[in-house]
Amino acid sequence: MSAVITATGLRKQYGRQTALDGASFTVEAGRIVGLIGPNGSGKTTTLKALLGLTPFEGELSVLGLDPRTQREALMNEVCFIADVAILPKWLKVKEAIAFVEGVHPRFNRAKAEQYLANTKLTPDMKVKAMSKGMVVQLHLALVMAIDARLLVLDEPTLGLDILYRKQFYQNLLEDYFDEDKTILITTHQIEEVEHILTDLMFIENGKISLAASMEEVGERFTEVMVEPQFVAAANALQPLSQRNVFGKAVMLFDGVARHQLQTFGELRTPSVADLFVATMKGTYA
């Protein structure tokens, strides 16, 4: 596989505040990557660096281009959505299509109109007359009609109800994504994107604290509901975290072989949300 993004030692200061502190990572082509981190961890600054929206120190290549000096060429290959719920209230459907067609060379008007034909949206409908779900449909039509090699989504379903959040990701997976495209998503709604991710990156205090494929995550991390008589033995293996569920200790282990853990109790692969809470507990403390 070829790398779509290669970042080495990214650093960014806002006055005395460090937003990026030597962040390094690689994103391969044809992957769906979740960039997950608490507020203030450096997620948005990372995206701004990738899109050429902020100066930074370090080395960064996006689609073989330097965002600092080749941003115009880069934007021909990238699509960015910050929040699907934000569009000017006066904007009509046909005006949105005309605007995107005018600014993005890889936009396919026929494809957008074909998608909209399956909705209740009409060319003269204004955003102010749309439900949030309709706004999602308009965004999807615009995005999926752009043959971008890299799609960057920053909290794309913020403020939408669960039905439209699920619709957004389902349509994205079925109608947009293929092996020639790469998607980078940041979101606080981890549970809703977990099933579509191929790779996971945790960012904490401006550094990448975890970067792995979902297969590697499943092999590396194991959660055990420990039977009471085995708590001491399980603790001796230094679990990453521990919580209590229905009176039993649930321990999360990093890099411990499953055959060592299976005698302690029921095993399962932790969810991304559980893994996130476990690895970020020092941050919130």
Measured on CA atoms in the order 167, 168, 170, 175, is the torsion positive or negative? Answer: positive
Do 263 and 190 share a domain, yes or no? no
Residue 92 lies in a domain: yes
Q: What is the CATH number of the domain that holds 61?
A: 3.40.50.300
What local confidence, expressed as pLDDT, does residue 285 receive? 40
Q: What is the DSSP string of 266-284?
A: EEEPPPHHHHHHHHHHHHH
List of the chain residues with pLDDT < 50: 283-285
Do 148 and 277 share a domain, yes or no? no
What local confidence, expressed as pLDDT, does residue 136 receive? 80
Do 81 and 113 share a domain, yes or no? yes
Residue 276 lies in a domain: yes
Residue 112 lies in a domain: yes
Residue 122 lies in a domain: yes
pTM of the model: 0.88
Residue 210 lies in a domain: no
Last residue of a domain, one of 152, 171, 205: 205
Q: Count how many domains the chain has.
A: 2
Do 82 and 198 share a domain, yes or no? yes
Residue 190 lies in a domain: yes
Determine how many CB atoms are found less than 10 A away from the CB of residue 139. Answer: 20
| Alpha-carbon separation of residue 47 from 42, 93, 155 (angstroms) | 9, 28, 12
Do 234 and 193 share a domain, yes or no? no
Burial class (CB in 10 A: 0-12, 13-18, 19+), 185: buried
Do 164 and 256 share a domain, yes or no? no
What local confidence, expressed as pLDDT, does residue 284 receive? 41
How big is the CA angle at 201 (ends 50 and 31), to the nearest 5 degrees? 70
Do 157 and 32 share a domain, yes or no? yes
Residue 211 lies in a domain: no
Do 236 and 173 share a domain, yes or no? no
Do 16 and 118 share a domain, yes or no? yes
Last residue of a domain, one of 205, 233, 254: 205
What local confidence, expressed as pLDDT, does residue 282 receive? 52
Last residue of a domain, one of 173, 205, 237: 205
Do 8 and 88 share a domain, yes or no? yes
Do 194 and 241 share a domain, yes or no? no
Do 144 and 33 share a domain, yes or no? yes
Over its C-alpha atoms, the chain yields an Rg (Å, rounded) of: 21
Burial of 218-242, coded b for 16+ CB within 10 Å and e otherwise, reads eeebbbbebeeebbeebeeeebbbe
Q: What is the DSSP string of the chain?
A: --EEEEEEEEEEEETTEEEEEEEEEEEETT-EEEEE--TTSSHHHHHHHHTT-S--EEEEEETTB-TTT-HHHHHTSEEEES-TT---TT-BHHHHHHHHHHH-TTB-HHHHHHHHTTSS--TT-BGGGS-HHHHHHHHHHHHHTB--SEEEEESTTTT--HHHHHHHHHHIIIII--TT-EEEEE-S-HHHHGGG-SEEEEEETTEEEEEEEHHHHHHHEEEEEE-GGGHHHHHTT--SEEEEETTEEEEEEES--HHHHTTTEEEEPPPHHHHHHHHHHHHH-
Residue 42 lies in a domain: yes
Parent domain of 39: 3-205
